[in-house]
Amino acid sequence: MKHLSILLILLVSLANAQEYKVADLKVQGNKKLKSSFVKKIAFIKSGVVLDSSLIEEDIRLLKRLPSIAHAYYQVFPAEESGEYNVFYNIEENFTIIPSANVYTTNDDEFAYRLGLYEFNLFGQNITFGGFYQKDIYDSYAINFRAPFLFSRKLGLAVNFQNLTTQEPVFFDNTTADYRYNNESFEVLGLYQINFTNRLEFGVNFFTEDYEYKSGATNPNVPQALVVDKMLYKLIYEYNNLNYDYQYVEGFRSIFNFQYVHSTDDNMLPDFLIGWNDFQYFMRFGKKGNWANRLRLGFATNDDTPFAPFAVDNNLNIRGVGNLIDRGTAAIVLNTEYRHTIYEKGWFTLQSNAFIDAGSWRNPGGDLGDFTDSQNIRVYPGFGLRFIHKKIFNAIFRIDYGIGITPDSTQGLVFGIGQYF
């Protein structure tokens, strides 16, 4: 906590910034996290002018890191006249974290994804791990992400995925089931412009393999298709969120733009796709948190059964089912109120009430599809969150969504981490 004496020192230092310098930055409370890493990414260093705004920015950055549950600072006079020691006090998270998602497919098959990730490899906030998925077929992935690998601003991510699922393909008002395999290798550069703005850019080489299993057929829709593709990706994020354990406040925007080049222009032509997630969080009193996500997405409007935007309860509409429709554009709003109903020590029990709503443009359709009642989904619901405050992302969630639009379903969605 920031004591009155610390605040007075900082006020004096701001009034006389040219006279007061930092003698040393000291890191306390960390065990696994390397002090050298904290000093590498911190603005405050030995010899710089004592500036409370830079200290606050460092603390906000530290509180965003997966390895840190909470951080605060202290300032004390050094032995040298006119200089001060700055102490960053760290409360670490446990960072070797399992992940789990459990759901049912449209055929009522039991499906799950199990993973294990280390979010603080070598004490450098490097994420490394992978997952195994059973969704009728076997799938797996390996992920490496080091946002501060080279400096406070420059990092690297490398991902490999071999994903196999049973995918519905929609055409002529009918449906066919395909065995779909996507094997991909991705390399991304990570660049932190400043505290609130960052970029990701890179390339993904992948192969899509569609194999017909059952359902409707059409001479114009192949029963087997293997296509090599190259994807160029750009992500821009504005992040002004502030975290206090399970509570979040502020605004965040993530823009994702991709150009996909295909070796088969007839069945899977080149296309552009882009979407933006707008997130807004507000605190209500001491225990309430209002969370919102709006997604706007558009892709090249080809009349194809392999449209890129999916309607899926694991992605956007809780309770709707597993990949029940596709489109070439999407508008989705998720809003929920989270309320802490019990908190003691490391454990928190949080309830939530939500409304998920969305609409899609049919492949080859027009913007009027967004108002077509057959494309609109509205699912209110409720859920619980079981939270461990000292383990990163240790939030076990249960949500139950109930559709209120025509031909709706209802169902449970389980997972690790907040839905958004």
Tens of pLDDT along 217-238? 888 788 888 999 999 999 999 9
* DSSP code per residue over 28-94: ES-SSS-HHHHHHH-S--TTSBP-HHHHHHHHHHHHHSTTEEEEEEEEEE-SSTTEEEEEEEEEEPB
pLDDT at residue number 4: 44
User: Which amino acid is it at 146?
Assistant: A
φ, ψ for residue 37, nearest 5 deg: -70, -45
Residue 10: strand, helix, or coil: helix
Distance, in Å, from the CA atom of 40 to the CA atom of 83, rounded to the nearest integer, reads: 21
What percentage of residues in the chain have a pLDDT greater than 70?
93
Where does residue 144 rank: exposed (0-12), middle (13-18), buried (19+ CB within 10 A)? middle
DSSP state of 16: T
User: Average pLDDT for residues 170-177, to the nearest whole number?
Assistant: 82
Residue 326: strand, helix, or coil: strand
Q: What is the pLDDT of residues 325-338, one digit of tens each?
A: 789 999 999 999 99
pLDDT at residue number 104: 62
Extended strands (E) in 152-223: 154-171, 174-192, 197-215
How many C-beta atoms surround the C-beta of residue 150 within 10 A?
A: 13
Query: What's the chain's average pLDDT?
Result: 89
Distance, in Å, from the CA atom of 21 to the CA atom of 51, rounded to the nearest integer, reads: 9
| Token output for 372 | 């077509």
pLDDT at residue number 335: 98
| Token output for 197 | 């703005």
- Low-confidence winner among 22-31, 41-50, 183-192, 389-398 (lowest mean pLDDT): 389-398
What percentage of residues in the chain have a pLDDT greater than 90?
66
- Say what the pTM is: 0.80
Q: Kind of pairing, strands 247-262 and 242-244?
A: antiparallel
DSSP state of 218: B
Please report where in the chains the tokens 């002004």 appear, as a residue.
Answer: 240
- Confirm if 47 and 82 have CB atoms less than 8 A apart: no
pLDDT at 105 over 60: no
Q: How confident is the model at residue 351 (pLDDT cuts 50, 70, 90)?
A: very high
User: Which amino acid is it at 90?
Assistant: I
Distance, in Å, from the CA atom of 200 to the CA atom of 190, rounded to the nearest integer, reads: 5
- Low-confidence winner among 15-24, 240-249, 335-344 (lowest mean pLDDT): 15-24
Q: How confident is the model at residue 17 (pLDDT cuts 50, 70, 90)?
A: very low
pLDDT at 139 over 90: yes
